Structure 1
């Protein structure tokens, strides 16, 4: 072991191997995040003035799953490895080779946004309030997803000499690196979840400023991603463009959407005050 390096915990990324198919921790992270979201939003639906009924939630979760998987996969194809999948289009749907690996958060995010908009229009619900409800549970999915990236030994950070650096078995260079997956799990997962819960349960933001919580979630994710990307190893086949990574580039539009949502919530509160 190199001096000052924390040993990387050897965890088999395959949870159960049936021979013809393997269940991986990464796939279970997706499932766990979705189940938590379903359970938690159902609990919230019991409160007066909830954005969705329990029947709505049971129906919407299917829409969300399709948005996450289709958006995440297509996002990865178009944003990160377009040439490879154009040469082998069947690879786009070849999930059995590695669970749900090869997914893009930004693609999955776009898929969920589309699912929310379509579902809200179909059932004539309040878009901003539904968006807030979805936003406050989303960080848990990000938390378990990044931990699964760590278990897979993928998406590691750049070389460093910090005391908590790790050597990842999948790194051919064998260098001590930032465990950037854990940085993201902490920032866009745990911390963002706690902040949104405090705002939702301890303030009137959700009631008086619909859309603000969704905006803060998007801004919080974007900020964490932009910061952590400075210590995360860029994708080898993409690299950097003018010193900016693909993840940072894709996060910039999220700040514009976050600003729009927050401003919409602020305008809503002002409108209520004027009526009063």
Structure 2
């Protein structure tokens, strides 16, 4: 017994030679909604120490292009380095064929961090506060990205007999966990709710580094949990015993996040300096 996989065309809109895929649309919508939410966070003085955010809505408007480049370039480079180095070494031009899929969250995270570091240095912004605001917006992109993975029938789970198992087109004809939906629920919806509670109830944005630290801890934990249900990448398999590449890349996130939380709590709330 298995649920039928919904046959959804990977192409959302097609006009002549132009084809807009759900995969690309998911990135666009995720970045757009994340930008909108980050602006709301910044524009809410109650969330910040001294009732004033250390960055402005105009800063976030200018940062959108930076983070878009960081996500796409970092995500693609991370996928090439972590998951298919031989393929991209043998066919370098495949790196630019983004419509074929192949993005790494961990690579996108590194690209985003580099973009934030460069932007904060250029604008004279407090880096940890920028980390915090961006962290609250990331679950939007994670949710829509995993839904796009599900539509594409990729990154599916391991064989199972649970009642909600699905037979994916490329899954060998056996029922499997819809692990993309697990990730959408945990990394997207639940992580958003946790961060929302943290910022609006506990006022975590007043403690630079606390929100982004909690984000790293919970994303890493959720990703490791789902990896027990997700089919390992065929070109890699299990790295050692039960460990997958996703687990190995997520463990440092938890450790770094824990360090950021401890540092933020010990340092205490910070009143933003007046920018002139």
Match of 2:152 in 1: 152
The residue number in structure 2 matching 1:235 is 233
Structure 1's consecutive aligned runs of 4 or more residues displaced over 3 angstroms after TM superposition are: none
Could you tell me how far 1:37 is from its partner in structure 2?
Answer: 1.3
Instruction: Write the distance in 1 (CA, Å) between the matches of 2:227 and 2:168.
Output: 18
Q: Distance in 2 between matches of 1:73 and 1:8?
A: 27
Deviates more, 1:44-53 or 1:244-253: 44-53
Q: Which of 20-29 and 184-193 deviates more?
A: 20-29
CA deviations 1:106-125 (Å, max 9, x no partner) are: 00000001111111111111
**Structure 1 unaligned blocks of 5 or more:** none
Q: Structure 1 residues 271 and 192, CA, compared in 2 at 3 Å: closer, same or farther?
A: closer
Count the aligned residue pairs.
264
1:42 counterpart residue number: 39
Q: Is the CA contact (8 Å cut-off) linking 1:51 and 1:133 kept in structure 2?
A: no
Normalising by structure 2, report the TM-score.
Answer: 0.92
Deviation of 1:137 after TM superposition, in Å, equals 1.0
- What is the rounded CA distance, in whole Å, between the counterparts of 1:43 and 1:199 in structure 2? 15
2:17 to 17, 20, 29: 20
Which of residues 66, 74, 85 in structure 2 aligns to 1:82?
85
Check if 1:135 corresponds to 2:135.
yes
Whether the aligned pair in 2 keeps the contact of 1:215 and 1:261 (CA below 8 Å) is yes
Task: Answer whether contact 1:144 1:185 (CA < 8 A) is retained.
Answer: yes
Matched, 1:8 2:11: no
Tell me which of 70, 75, 81 is aligned to 1:72. 75
What per-residue deviation string (whole Å, max 9, x for no partner) do you get for residues 109-154 of structure 1? 0000111111111111111111111101111110111011011111
Give the drift of 1:45. Answer: 2.7
Superposition CA RMSD, Å: 1.5
Question: 2-side partners of 1:270 and 1:58: how far apart?
Answer: 26
